[in-house]
Structure 1
Amino acid sequence: MTDIDYAAFRRLDLNLLVAFDALIAETSVSRAAGRLCIGQPAMSHALARLRELFGDDILFREGAAMRPTPRALALAGPIRQVLDDIQQVARGAQPFDPAEAEGRVRIALNDPLEALLLPGLVARLRAQAPRLTLSVLPVPASRQLEQLDAGAVSLLVGHHPQVREVHSQLPLYESGFSCVFNPALIEVPPKPDLAALARLPHIHTTYAGEPPGVVDRVFKAHGLTRQVVARSAMPLSIPFVLKRSPLVAILPDMLARMFAAHTDLRFEPLPVAGLSLPISLVSHRRERSDPLIEFVARRLVESVEEWVAASGA
């Protein structure tokens, strides 16, 4: 075991590491200050001291937003690990009691999964851990693993094929795909095959976490090409488009069922080989012994199971 350099620790304010963690998580001096319940001038002073300590800008301005530097991102994981270890030592002194647990857990969900899972998750947490605060952060799918590594979020739910050894992944649900349409505007045959769908006009969206072109790759494998006449930036706009236009959309079953349940749209499942989307719960292994994170993760799993059972998927 390495000897502790006590003199060096006397010169280091460990509260700066807490400030660093908040700054990286929030990428905003004012939001980080609010998170730590201190004034913005105090947080600005902490950022200045961190810049001096590490010889790095830590955060830099990019347009209207602040972004962490590469050096800050490299430091984020180890610093979060240190803070987690200290927190575990403090929590380990007494058994975990959800009813008394305090803190904030940050998770990343794309919009459709948030709409499906958040109601059940919040209800469970309010009933079992009323002092706990849950935050769903709007992190693009392409940056979710990066934010998990940096400690900005503790849990991800979605499609994440790029997980590494430092991550823990629990498969939750394998979503097939369905064709969604407005039967008042366009005729779709029952149990349509890909050839029939290729003759219809489509609206396409990139689902958060979906491998680019997964639907079109399946069509191409069958020697077909879709007629994509419109593209949407977000899945939740699709039902509003289909309500007014004679188009079809090929969406994950979880989305298709949600849209059909709340609109006059219909969906036809597409049992095509290769057309599926595995959904998993992902966490960082450094938090595997954190009872608070484990508690929320279990409630997330229960919410998924509840939704799958209710939807008949």
Structure 2
Amino acid sequence: MNDILYGKFRQIDLNLLVALDALVQERSVSGAAKRLFIGQPAMSHALARLRELLGDEILFRSHGRMEPTCRALTIAAEIRPFLLRIDALTRGQPEFDPVTVVQEMRIALSASLESCLLPSLVEHLRTHAPGLQLSVQSGGPLRQLELLQHGEVRLAIDHFPALENDFIGELLGHVPYDCVFNPERVPLGENPGIHEILAQPHIHSTYAGATLSRFDQMLGRAQLASATYRGPQCQLAVHSFCGQRISAGSGPAANLDPAVPLSPAIADLPGTA
């Protein structure tokens, strides 16, 4: 890649390139001066400097009017696209219109949030951003932050208790915990208390294979580990959200995880009622 010779650029007044474009467009010193909102003497001085810089007349009189030289036309044709590009860049960002966006958006979600958010999100995008294609990667909070750190996704949605300064977070809401179980296999009533729940084996979702669930961590922080809490009661740690719900519906264990609303297709699975 060629480097820019900044020292050489310092010897050139880049405003002269704007003046050259105006002179070629207007074919008149007075007309170019009006375009640049400067006086005619200043425009004449710019023309003199251009002639010295390029070694060319730039404009010459022919049949009672001024005409650009061939060299001036050639240089102006090369310069104009760059001037237009610079003008567009310095005007600021255009107003974002999701309807006109055509691109792929990579996001990261946990499996439980996929079932909760994606159906309504996709339906919303069909109307308001039809050209936006979602690419979703599943993973736990740590994995999602890794994907963000390496630029593999642009957005991550999950439970992040503590974010480093490298990330910008926004609270979307609070989600309570839900206890899902099969009443035919697990001896719990409609409104079991903490003692009854802790007496049963548990199922929870994990991407790292950890048997210590967020529910266990919450109980540990609440200092219930003596008489009431006997330590992690995890019987099954499973990656798939559907798998954990099916296991809770068919096995003698309770599923303790954040209570996310389910899409109709997921809500019909065993153990989700």
- Superposed CA deviations along residues 48-81 of structure 1, whole A, max 9, x for unmatched, are xxxxxxxxxxxxxxxxxxxxxxxxxxxxxxxxxx
How far apart are residue 113 of structure 1 and its match? 0.6
How far apart are residue 168 of structure 1 and its match? 1.7
Cα 1:136–1:91, aligned 2, differ >3 Å: closer, same or farther? farther
Runs of at least 4 residues of structure 1 off by over 6 A?
Answer: 255-260
Aligned partner of residue 230 in structure 1, secondary structure: strand
Aligned partner of residue 195 in structure 1, secondary structure: helix
**Hey, what's the Cα distance between the residues in 2 that align with 1:262 and 1:249?**
16
Q: Match of 1:242? A: 248
Aligned partner of residue 240 in structure 1, secondary structure: helix
The one-letter amino acid of 2:255's match is A
Equivalent residue pairs, number: 185
1:6 aligns with 2:4: yes
TM-score normalised over the length of structure 1:
0.50
Q: Match of 1:101? A: 101
Larger Rg: 2
CA contact (8 A) 1:108 1:155 kept: yes
**Hey, what's the Cα distance between the residues in 2 that align with 1:188 and 1:258?**
26
CA contact (8 A) 1:207 1:235 kept: no
- Superposed CA deviations along residues 264-287 of structure 1, whole A, max 9, x for unmatched, are 5367xxxxxxxxxxxxxxxxxxxx
How far apart are residue 172 of structure 1 and its match? 0.8
Cα 1:173–1:245, aligned 2, differ >3 Å: closer, same or farther? same
**RMSD across aligned positions (CA):** 3.5
The one-letter amino acid of 1:6's match is I
1:230 aligns with 2:228: no
Identity over aligned pairs, percent: 30
CA contact (8 A) 2:107 2:156 kept: yes
The one-letter amino acid of 2:248's match is L
- Superposed CA deviations along residues 101-153 of structure 1, whole A, max 9, x for unmatched, are 22111111111111111111111111112122221123443222222122211
**Hey, what's the Cα distance between the residues in 2 that align with 1:121 and 1:112?**
14
**Hey, what's the Cα distance between the residues in 1 that align with 2:201 and 2:179?**
12
Cα 1:256–1:247, aligned 2, differ >3 Å: closer, same or farther? farther
Q: Match of 1:141? A: 141
How far apart are residue 164 of structure 1 and its match? 2.1
CA contact (8 A) 1:259 1:265 kept: no
How far apart are residue 170 of structure 1 and its match? 0.9
**Hey, what's the Cα distance between the residues in 1 that align with 2:133 and 2:263?**
29
**Hey, what's the Cα distance between the residues in 2 that align with 1:138 and 1:213?**
18
**Hey, what's the Cα distance between the residues in 1 that align with 2:263 and 2:98?**
33
Aligned partner of residue 265 in structure 1, secondary structure: coil
How far apart are residue 252 of structure 1 and its match? 0.9
Structure 2 gap segments, 5+ residues each: 7-85
Structure 1 gap segments, 5+ residues each: 9-85, 268-313
Matches within 5 A, 1:1-313: 5-7=3-5, 89=89, 92=92, 94-206=94-206, 213-220=213-220, 221-222=223-224, 223=226, 224-225=229-230, 226-254=232-260, 261-265=267-271
How far apart are residue 244 of structure 1 and its match? 2.0
- Superposed CA deviations along residues 63-100 of structure 1, whole A, max 9, x for unmatched, are xxxxxxxxxxxxxxxxxxxxxxx9x9499464332222
Cα 1:264–1:165, aligned 2, differ >3 Å: closer, same or farther? same
CA contact (8 A) 1:178 1:256 kept: no
The one-letter amino acid of 1:150's match is H
How far apart are residue 183 of structure 1 and its match? 1.7
Cα 1:110–1:129, aligned 2, differ >3 Å: closer, same or farther? same
Q: Match of 1:51? A: none
Cα 1:94–1:250, aligned 2, differ >3 Å: closer, same or farther? closer
TM-score normalised over the length of structure 2:
0.57
Q: Match of 2:56? A: none
Higher percent of residues as strand: 1
**Hey, what's the Cα distance between the residues in 2 that align with 1:186 and 1:211?**
20
How far apart are residue 198 of structure 1 and its match? 2.0
Aligned partner of residue 96 in structure 2, secondary structure: coil
